[in-house]
Structure 1
Amino acid sequence: MATRPQRQVLAEVAYELIRRRLVDHEIPPGSRMNINTLAAELDVSPTPLREALARLEAEGLVVKRSLAGYAAAPLLGPRDLDELFDVRLLLEPAIAARAADRTAPGDLARLAGTLAETEAAKDDGSRESMLVYLRNDAAFHDGIAALGGNALLRTTLCRLHAHAHQYRLFFRAGMARATLVEHERILQALGERDADTAAARMRTHLRRARERLAGAVGDDHARTGT
């Protein structure tokens, strides 16, 4: 029995590391994932690694193929991506409204800190600025979800964000600045404890984010002919 907690810890560590690699495209979409190679790289045994992969499979970030093991899930298609934003539009404005009723000064300071980091970073489309932008974008949305007080909704949104952030290869200069302005407006509504305005501004932000991402994906497909 003493080994069970340790295995759970190892499985959790493996899950977080592999998830980050998937979202960062260090493990490219659609590529095969060798369990023995991953176990050696992460310094864990195959058992907790398989537990981590099963969890990632449930989230749709990896797929298990008959007689071929695990592979990174391919990027969502245009329709799937559109549906992902449909779900976010249903959930996140409501969560922003709940958060507005529960926000304390310390919460506002933490959210403002993520925005300050984004503002301090260059918005030049580079990998470095992309990573800062996406890390803080996830932190901002997760922070609001945490304030909403519903753990299941927070977990659901975390999974949705992971899929959305897999599209980071379509990151363009200017996206971070536009997102920052929209986040600042949401934060202002939270500070004023204005639930209706927080919900409306979150809805506007998500719609514009979908438009920016769809435009970038379309431009890339036109350029490459895919």
Structure 2
Amino acid sequence: MTLIQPRQMLADTVYEAIEQRLVNHDIEPGAKLNISTLAQELDVSPTPVREALARLEADGLAVKRPNAGYAAAPLMGSKDFDELFEMRLLLEPAAAGRAAARVGEDDLRALTDTLAEMRKVQGGAGSRATLRLFVHQDALFHDIIANSGGNTLMADTLRRFRAHTHLYRLYFREGITDATCREHERVLDALREADADAAAATMRTHLRRAQQRLLPTVIGTGPDDADSRA
């Protein structure tokens, strides 16, 4: 048992490191993922890198090409993007409703702090470095809510969905961060009031508006959009 735990911790660490590079566009969509290079950069053997890439393929963030190894997944086209938000709209309002009945003071403080951090950087979100900080706090806000709901499978599924969505957030337009903060505040207010219906409703509204805000960055980026223009 003592031999398995450190190996699992290493595999998780490598997975998270590569996932973050993909979401942040440090590795651009469609770029080749060289196992040897990644292992050298992360100072690990190739084995945990291979395991991480297999997990990322299952998450849809990497693709395995015949006789060519792995590559970062291309950005989704509008059809896949719509399906992604369809799933989030089914699950995430339910998670917020569950959280309203279960969230503790520690999580409420963490949500408050996370929103405060988002507000600190929202004015400078035009730069990629600043926007990455905003995106990180945004993901953390949603993760805290999902985890507070007490359904581990739901929380893990939503985390994977959000990784896809955040691939687009580096293309945010001016003003989007302000709207995101206002909507998060409404969700947080519902959680403070322990109002499950309001938490679900405000989360649903937030997701629908986020989908509309991100849609202009999606159109024309994916293979299905390229086909439609041919």
- TM-score bucket of the superposed structures, by smaller chain: over 0.9
Answer yes or no: is the 8 Å Cα contact 2:77–2:218 preserved in 1.
Answer: no
Question: What runs of 5+ residues in structure 1 fail to find an aligned partner?
Answer: none
Contact 2:61 2:164 in 1 (8 A): yes
Instruction: Give 1:14 shift.
Output: 1.0
| Residue deviations 1:102-156 (CA, integer Å, cap 9, x gap) | 1222221110100001111242421133112211110110000011100000000
Q: Which residue of 1 aligns with 2:196?
A: 195
| Secondary structure, aligned partner of 1:64 | strand
TM-score by length of 2: 0.91
Distance 2:154 2:76 in 1: 21
Alpha-carbon shift at residue 12 of structure 1 (Å): 1.4
Q: How far apart in 2 are the matches of 1:79 and 1:123?
A: 32
Looking at structure 1, the residues matched to 77 and 147 of structure 2 have their Cα atoms a distance apart, in angstroms, of 29
The percentage of aligned residue pairs carrying the same residue is 57
CA contact 1:170–1:217 (8 Å) conserved in 2: no
Deviation at 1:218, TM superposition (A): 4.6
Aligned to 2:103: 103
Q: Is 1:159 the equivalent of 2:160?
A: yes
**TM-score, structure 1 length as denominator?**
0.92
Contact 2:77–2:219 (Cα < 8 Å) also in 1? no
Aligned residue type for 1:169: L
Deviation at 1:52, TM superposition (A): 1.0
Q: Deviations over 1:88-107 (max 9, x none)?
A: 00001111111111122222
Structure 2 letter corresponding to 1:117: E
SS at match of 2:167: helix
> Cα offset for 1:9?
2.4
Deviation by residue 1:46-77 (Cα, 9 ceiling, x = unmatched): 11111111111111111111111111111111
TM-superposed deviation, 1:217: 3.9
Alignment root-mean-square deviation, CA: 2.0
What's 1:34 paired with? Answer: 34
Matching of residues 17-166 of structure 1 within 5 Å? 17-124=17-124, 125-166=126-167
**Cα pair 2:101 2:196 within 8 Å, conserved:** yes
Equivalent position amino acid for 1:185 in 2: R
What does residue 5 of structure 2 align with? Answer: 5
State whether residues 30 and 73 of structure 1, in contact with CA within 8 Å, keep that contact through their aligned partners in structure 2: yes
Distance 1:51 1:15 in 2: 8
Tell me which moved more, 147-156 or 116-125. Answer: 116-125
Letter in 1 for 2:140: A
Distance 1:38 1:220, change over 3 A: closer
Amino acid at match of 2:176: M
Corresponding residue number in structure 1 for 2:181: 180
- Would you say the 8 A contact 1:115–1:136 is kept in 2? yes
- Residue 141 of structure 2 aligns with an amino acid whose one-letter code is F
- Whether contact under 8 Å (1:31, 1:72) holds in the other structure is yes
CA distance in 2, matches of 1:89, 1:110: 24
In 1, are the aligned partners of 2:187 and 2:203 still within 8 Å (CA)? Answer: yes
SS at match of 1:63: strand
Count how many residue pairs are aligned between Structure 1 and Structure 2: 223
Between 112-121 and 165-174, the greater mean CA deviation after superposition: 165-174
C-alpha displacement of 1:196: 0.6
